[in-house]
Structure 1
């Protein structure tokens, strides 16, 4: 009977911890606190030195739970990574995820060996544990701060964070085996070990992802079973790869990448389910890691751990990033920001628990150092991430508002999705009542009544519209339902401008000097330059006291834009006189005539 009471109490306690984690996530989002840090603190509060007084030192259970959680989290990371983001950033991102991790391991490892009086291999083990970044921590902070990085920079950070964990695991397992072997393994054996793990992880991951897509599309599973099938398959892929001595984490990431970039049935339900499961995995894993640490035991190694953390943040990671990105032509500001966005997370603490499980000497030091490094990284780098991006002018001007979209799976096919949107008063579709031909309106909900599309007429504010669209064009349709954000509303004067108008002619009307970086570009070309080929409705940028904003797009192209001036820009700009307007129009006309003449001249030369 006593055992039953203990089991019931354990269930209650576990549920209470998860509820605390869920509620604390709201506080973290409100104040921009790194979410991982919140969960760790909760774990420590109920631990042996906290108010709970629970003694927990089960490293085997921690490894089991941590492995399952990381497998699901990494699969989810691959599931959300779109291959079109790889264009132009594959080399720098993969360089950071591989060469960058190795350089960070080497630099931090040598410094740790010197500071902690360890052997070189033991120092490298410390470096390998803290070499990878935590994607969940980085992008939680970016989202909670309302920050949008420029496309190239954000893609690099996403790909690096999603792919550098397997490399860190490679190095950690390899170094543990070398330390335990005490130099008996040769360089050839080490190389074969790395090759086998990478090859098996890659082959099983790609093959497993392909099999998952085949099963989803060809096998009729009961309603609601698709997400559970995918989660179980991801864990099976990890377990199979690990049993065969391959890289299980690399395998599940690649499997998620395959599933996320192929048309599969029930994908909206799968992604929604993975949101919930991933959050649960993070909460359970981080709280367990917090329980595992005893704060009082950190005190003897606290000073030296702080020194290593400072070295990693200001020397190890920045030098590794510079070595990878500087030869590829990245600016100093971009290199500095990527070097600072090196938040350490659960993977580092999880890896630090492995030496204890494997019986490596000095295993307590590894865990203490990794824990301190993670906490200092989250506190120092986590709270300065958004201000630094804005200070370095690497954030997009303004924040693109999010669209409220509901996705409905259509059984039996995957060529089209049904999506639903609320119609906002300031959205492009409400103002212009225009829809692309590839978006088929199914029905409209108006005043709590379902109305046939033929009887509904144009969409009105307050409606809820349901549409059939190709999956690859859903994001394009999103832009028509995005309401104008308050950040983009201006209390001064506003004027429509043509997207094909020369930008220099527009600014000259208002007596504003055009920066050299824009050259002879049109308004549309300037937006494409500023937003790196992916402008959207609501995007805006400033030139002196003027702000230009995209108000409508059609088939991926800017169809209407707007110029704002006055109070928001912080400068007083009077309306141009007729002389100034005529002068600006003449300048604009002259630029267009000159462009036509140059084009005609080029054609004559070609003939």
Structure 2
């Protein structure tokens, strides 16, 4: 693990997924590597893999904002259920033909590689250096957190069917699916609410809060599994509920949880890499390569395009979602089910699955940011504080006060006079300046103070004022060529009348409704689930959604274009 972490610095620079380092290091430590460790304990690997996946999903849920559900919930659920079934069926049929085995054997392989991997998706999307629009990013993250139950159900059902002579009925399968999802959802949400209550009421040493969340999440995961529900779905919903709850320690907890999630990922991939024998992968390497190519270029895109038909996704967004169908630890852990069950040729399934995962991480994992730029689905990052501490969070009166640190990215900007002259008081009605730190030293601030790039400003704010204040100190970023080129040179309010824009910019007035606003035009043409970055053309101007407040378009970027 030490060597893997040190090697990660190099791999990130060359664009390789960090998870691939841990997998490769495990293989190097194995019986055919320089470590020479003979490890073949599938039961231990299965146990550790499941616990690690639970921790990863718990952390992933905590980092997923419920606001993304507005545009991503139903597409994600479609991909997490029907998408997994379509992928299983198509890959299963192709694998059965290619390997010359019974169809049920091919379907078992298809169900093993049928779901995307939460560890790989969370890791690569959040460390890729690009910001996806909310519709695409939210869909990929929620899908990867919610599709494990369907894949596990298919693998368990098909494995049991191959062991038993009793036929599997469609009703039995649907009953199991409803049971898994219903128990997982209900107990996951209830468990998250209970954990929030405990976090708010039970005083602990600060370092213990993250351990409390981990232990509660794992207890929920195992308990739900024991009574026939989906533990993976439940633990993801526990994290989602806690991450979107109002607790003072959330920032400190998130930092510790992030480290524990990385520990879980590293340990899991190292152990799975240690379990495989590299030479055995070459035996059926060509078949595994063909199955991986079919999965990446045919099965996954086909499933995505079918599942997203009812939803308002642009074609580049559909292509990107199909491309980021990353396979990782989940398929490898699922491939241990047939091995533990003692099925014939179970080792073949494991070896092919491992090779498919390697190809997916190498090909898809290393191109995540490049494909986003090529398909033009990224949005410029929003200026935000670099540090936050919650000082007051009164849930009953809805009164919040937080201390924020901002990094100045502009030269020659003055702090607004209203902030400089504001005297700290018990009731904060406007932002209050606490300190300006330059080159590690606090300096006196007055109305004539000019800010320098690299200054750090500490302020007391209500959470609702953060975005506006961040813009003040990030004028370099907000005025950059990237932002101007993306959003446009000007910004207008969402309720700006279209007829006024038409008169100012020379757009023909024929067909323009005098009562319609710019926001209404965008929503009429794009559908109700609009996100930042969506755009339409209005005569010789391009309108781009710049800022949202829930479902309402607050600000629109305007860019003049040639006729």
Normalising to structure 1: TM-score of the pair? Answer: 0.76
For the residue of structure 1 that corresponds to 2:340, the secondary structure is: helix
For residue 38 of structure 1, report the CA deviation from its aligned partner: 2.0
Q: Is the contact made by 1:424 and 1:481 (CA closer than 8 Å) also made in structure 2?
A: yes
For residue 279 of structure 1, report the CA deviation from its aligned partner: 0.9
For the residue of structure 1 that corresponds to 2:273, the secondary structure is: helix
Which runs of 5 or more residues in structure 2 are unaligned?
Answer: 423-427
CA distance, structure 2, for counterparts of residue 553 and residue 458 of structure 1: 33
Quick one: which of 375, 386, 410 aligns to 1:426? Answer: 410
Matches within 5 A, 1:254-269: 254-269=237-252
CA distance, structure 1, for counterparts of residue 171 and residue 549 of structure 2: 58
CA distance, structure 2, for counterparts of residue 358 and residue 153 of structure 1: 38
For the residue of structure 2 that corresponds to 1:383, the secondary structure is: helix
CA distance, structure 2, for counterparts of residue 176 and residue 294 of structure 1: 24
Normalising to structure 2: TM-score of the pair? Answer: 0.81
Q: Is the contact made by 1:199 and 1:246 (CA closer than 8 Å) also made in structure 2?
A: yes
Quick one: which of 39, 55, 67 aligns to 1:56? Answer: 39
| CA deviation profile, 1:279-303 (whole Å, cap 9, x unmatched) | 1111111111111111101121111
Within the alignment, does 1:484 sit opposite 2:476 as a pair? yes
CA distance, structure 2, for counterparts of residue 24 and residue 309 of structure 1: 27
CA distance, structure 2, for counterparts of residue 230 and residue 354 of structure 1: 28
Name the residue aligned to 2:388. 407
| CA deviation profile, 1:439-491 (whole Å, cap 9, x unmatched) | 542622445666899x8997944242132424x6655654444352399259x
Quick one: which of 271, 293, 302 aligns to 2:285? Answer: 302
Q: Is the contact made by 1:428 and 1:551 (CA closer than 8 Å) also made in structure 2?
A: no
Name the residue aligned to 2:230. 247
For the residue of structure 2 that corresponds to 1:342, the secondary structure is: coil
CA distance, structure 2, for counterparts of residue 191 and residue 475 of structure 1: 46
For residue 63 of structure 1, report the CA deviation from its aligned partner: 1.2
The verdict on how the C-alpha distance between 1:506 and 1:35 changes in structure 2, with shifts beyond 3 A counting, is: farther
Quick one: which of 367, 371, 380 aligns to 1:384? Answer: 367
For residue 366 of structure 1, report the CA deviation from its aligned partner: 1.3
The verdict on how the C-alpha distance between 1:334 and 1:204 changes in structure 2, with shifts beyond 3 A counting, is: same
| CA deviation profile, 1:43-78 (whole Å, cap 9, x unmatched) | 112212222221211111111211111011111111
CA distance, structure 1, for counterparts of residue 363 and residue 95 of structure 2: 20
Name the residue aligned to 1:441. 432
CA distance, structure 2, for counterparts of residue 340 and residue 97 of structure 1: 15
Name the residue aligned to 1:177. 160
The verdict on how the C-alpha distance between 1:76 and 1:352 changes in structure 2, with shifts beyond 3 A counting, is: same
The verdict on how the C-alpha distance between 1:133 and 1:552 changes in structure 2, with shifts beyond 3 A counting, is: closer
Name the residue aligned to 1:464. 457
Name the residue aligned to 2:425. none
Name the residue aligned to 1:3. none
Name the residue aligned to 1:5. none
The verdict on how the C-alpha distance between 1:363 and 1:224 changes in structure 2, with shifts beyond 3 A counting, is: same
| CA deviation profile, 1:101-137 (whole Å, cap 9, x unmatched) | 1111111112112222332222211111111112443
Name the residue aligned to 1:131. 114
Name the residue aligned to 2:191. 208
Q: Is the contact made by 1:35 and 1:137 (CA closer than 8 Å) also made in structure 2?
A: no
CA distance, structure 1, for counterparts of residue 304 and residue 531 of structure 2: 26
Quick one: which of 89, 105, 123 aligns to 1:122? Answer: 105
CA distance, structure 2, for counterparts of residue 278 and residue 456 of structure 1: 46
| CA deviation profile, 1:360-393 (whole Å, cap 9, x unmatched) | 2211011111111111112222233333333333
RMSD (Å), alpha carbons: 4.3
Q: Of the two, which has the highest radius of gyration?
A: 1
